[in-house]
Amino acid sequence: MSTPTSSQLLDVAVSAAREAADLVARGRDGAGAHVATKSSPVDVVTAVDAASEELLVRRLLTARPDDGVLGEEGASRNGTSGVRWIVDPIDGTVNFLYDVPAYGVSVAAEVDGSVRAGAVLNVATGELFTASAGEGAWLSAPGRTVRRLHTGRPASLEQTLVATGFGYRAEQRRAQGRVVAELLPRVRDIRRFGSAALDLCAVAAGRVDAYYELGLHPWDHAAGALVAAEAGAVVSGLRGAPVGEPMVVAVAPSVAEPFLDLLAELHP
């Protein structure tokens, strides 16, 4: 079987993400009824997360039966085609539970270990962020013209609006809180939206200038990091490490150097 193009993979990702988003939207009102916890008492998972992941895997493997899959709720399958799908059935599960309108379905396609296509769909707003390698990042939203995304261009660190997020373990949060306390007086302000995938898309859309978070999983950042990179963001780990090992940073190029230096200083 020949290797699919990035845009063919993106089409599959978008159609699976749309179906999963419909399922998630239908499940919102009863979301509180079936909630369990995972790594800590604040790390929640709903029955809708599981149903969304099951649907995504079924749709992706129906379209491309030889592919591998990795999902937040346990999907894990080695394929034979060189393509692996990385899915987050609801990124921003706490927002979903509370009806805060920032939770999304995230679908990425990796080819031989590098992400080539990604779709992040905010279920609550209908905004769909997409990217395929080398072809830019795009936003389509109900009733609006599709537009190409570009990061912001802050002139300095002091004018940089920064998003971040926190893990679920208390000790990790304490450490992350200390870093934020040091960062806050040195940047424009801090945002905590509650969905890593949407945070990365917010960098792409220039809604924030930078995002960083320690300890994410591949399903949190695979699609969003491609969207951010295709919008021109510098996407990196700390001190030149690969993305996600263990930090994910996406930052507008105009402040990338001082921002990455500052993060390195705050994470000795």
Nearer to ligand IPD, 103 or 259 (CB): 103
Is residue 91 near ligand IPD by the rule CB under 6 A? yes
Asked if 152 interacts with ligand IPD (CB under 6 A), we say no
- At 84, list the tokens: 């692996």
- Of the pair 83, 247, the CB lying nearest ligand IPD is at 247
∠ CA 197-248-208, nearest 5°, is 60
Residues 194-213 that bind ligand IPD (CB under 6 A): 194-196, 213
Q: Does 68 bind ligand IPD (CB under 6 A)?
A: no
Residue with tokens 């920032």: 102
Other CB atoms within 10 A of residue 218 CB? 19
Which positions from 101 through 120 interact with ligand IPD, judged by CB under 6 A?
none
Rounded to whole angstroms, how far apart are CA atoms 75 and 31?
21
Does the protein bind ligand IPD through residue 129 (CB under 6 A)? no
Residues 157-196 that bind ligand IPD (CB under 6 A): 165-167, 194-196
Q: Please state the separation of Cα 262 from the chain's center in Å.
A: 23
Q: How far is the CB of 54 from ligand IPD (least distance, A)?
A: 16
Which token pair is 181? 């306390």
**Distance in angstroms (rounded) separating the CA atoms of residues 54 and 204:** 29
Which chain residues interact with ligand IPD by CB under 6 A? 72, 88, 91-93, 165-167, 194-196, 213, 216, 220
